[in-house]
Structure 1
Amino acid sequence: MSHRNARLTVFGRRLLVERVLSGRPVAHVAAEMGVSRPTAYKWVRRWREEGGGGLHDRSSRPHRTPHRTRAVVEARVCDLRHSRKLGPARIGPVLGLPASTVHRILTRHGLNRLAWLDRPTGTVIRRYERERPGELIHVDVKKLGRIPDGGGHKALGREAGRPIRGMGFDYVHSAVDDHSRLAYSEIHPDEKVTTCAGFLTRAAAFFHTHGITRIERVLTDNAWAYRKGLAWKATLAELGATGKLTRPYRPQTNGKVERFNRTLLDEWAYLQPYTTNEQRTAALNTFLHTYNYHRGHTALGGKPPITRVNNPPGQYT
């Protein structure tokens, strides 16, 4: 992954090197690629010294940070956080540090959220996150209006794109692993028991191919299919999983998949004004691949979900 403001990707840098090695002037190639001559020379030099690996980004972190807070002071900050549960505004005056510096230290050591600490012992815990993949899978269904041919109101405007009677809905079934956030989705015309059960079977197969070989528990809302459906219960039994229901009227209990649904809307369903329902459906797989393999997740330290899965197969590009 390139730096956010980088002019060239790794592919572009390789293309630049190939053009220079073909005998063309560096100045001409740099102008074509939209970079300066020093930048072009830099990538050519790195390629000659390191080969293809030299075209990848290096960390911009400095080799030395002479003004960083001393380790003994950081340890004291952490100790006050553990023992007295103090925040930056109170730790700062005790140690003679700005509150902003204390906050950076706590963030660096994963102590910036007091809710992540066990009150009696001060031990760091991550509430609402399971310890291993497959321990808990969140499942939910998102209902979306189907798009008529030519586009709906997002493509044509409110007046021209008024809903057509009888167009119906798409039901997006999604499953999200609590620990890794690895996600799987399918689009169906309903949310009946047999549909939900079939989706769970295929979701389990998807997780299995990515190293999550066992699903222990499945968390859902209180829809009839999950509470009473015999096919759903049979599928859980086949997987050796236990079904769990959220508290009534408490969707935040199923927060992982609820948050995924919001991302699903922002980065797939409403990403662009689709002109047909088939066009939106076809874009789902691309979104899922990006989400699982490339999109940085804030709860995972900016890394994609696949980095937290046991034994990820192959190379992901």
Structure 2
Amino acid sequence: MPWQEIRVEEQRLLMIRDHEEGMSISELAEVYGVSRKTVYKWLERHDEQGFLGLQAQSRRPHRSPNQVTSEVEGAIIAARHKWGWGPGKLRVKLFQQDSRVPWPAVSTIAAVLKANGLVVSRRNRPRVPIQRPPYLAADGPNAVWNIDYKGWFRCGDGTRVDPLTISDGFSRYLLRCQHVEQTGYELTRAVFVATFQEFGLPGAIHSDNGTPFASVAPGGLSRLSIWFVKLGIVVERSRPACPQDNGRHERMHRTLKAATAKPPQATVRLQQQAFHAFQREYNEERPHEALDNKTPHSCYQASARSYPRRVPELEYGDDMETRVISQQGSLKWKGVRTFISEVFAYETLGIKVIDERWVELYFGPIRLGWLDGYRQTFSRRKPKALIAEEISVIV
């Protein structure tokens, strides 16, 4: 006999009387269609409160965690308008400003924002399993820097804006957020020179496959990444069409866009001022959950590797020969010139002899491909003849 919505107190009282007459807990649960736990609950309430304990009780908590004062609600709304952050970061910031106030939980702050129309619903997207190459771990300041040109846009007067962003992978410290008039090698390199002079050299730099960071040349190297390699910096690149490989930098870009380009400023000068203001706030005020709610500024320190006055030449091991690439991008081997790429003009490549026919070409630690000494041809893919030899050795 399952309990009905009407006269439920009477049915509970009948259950109590049946128990007093000798019915077991299991029998009561079966007869009244409830769980043993429910039977125990009402027996205990009857023992403590009598018949009043069998009446329906309000489920409202004695103190609602979602109930906030108008002053607290106003402070939350003001903080949202000032910083535009999510509830977690807002709670940290509010506590930093006044720890005497019993600021509500993150979920309550989120509810306040939603109730006041300050939350923009995002479209749910299916999550794709992330499989990344073995990139270097950003386990300390300057271990890995993340770089990119954020997608260009036009400011109010129609001028194109191309922000170059450089951030530290460990601390999230935004080292540079700077508009560059032309995104080619020369002006981009100038920004990096200033950054290296101020903060020192990183262990690695992670970029996408776009210019000027990469190219279609062997090894994916460009003039800029060649310069990085000569400075002793490991070059990492995301897989094509995989922005998640540089995910934390991409997330920063979304925050940057929302804060400075919706809408864009009237002129480039004002836009750069907005970039600088964002950079200061992002580094010095905005807490990050991944940093235990610390700011990037509190977790970053400059690199111990200073920028050299003169870019050193690459050194190769004793097991390698070296050749200087011509202005036209060709390498001379056994008296014959073979085209490699113009991007290596006047650079020194390392040559590792495999046998009388095949040699491997390197630029620093990066293998560029294989040179066929018989046909005087260059291939970026390992020749089938060498693969066949390896298989025969294994067998």
Q: Normalising by structure 2, what TM-score?
A: 0.40
Q: Normalising by structure 1, what TM-score?
A: 0.48
More helix by share: 1
Who wins on radius of gyration, i.e. which is larger?
Answer: 2
More strand by share: 2
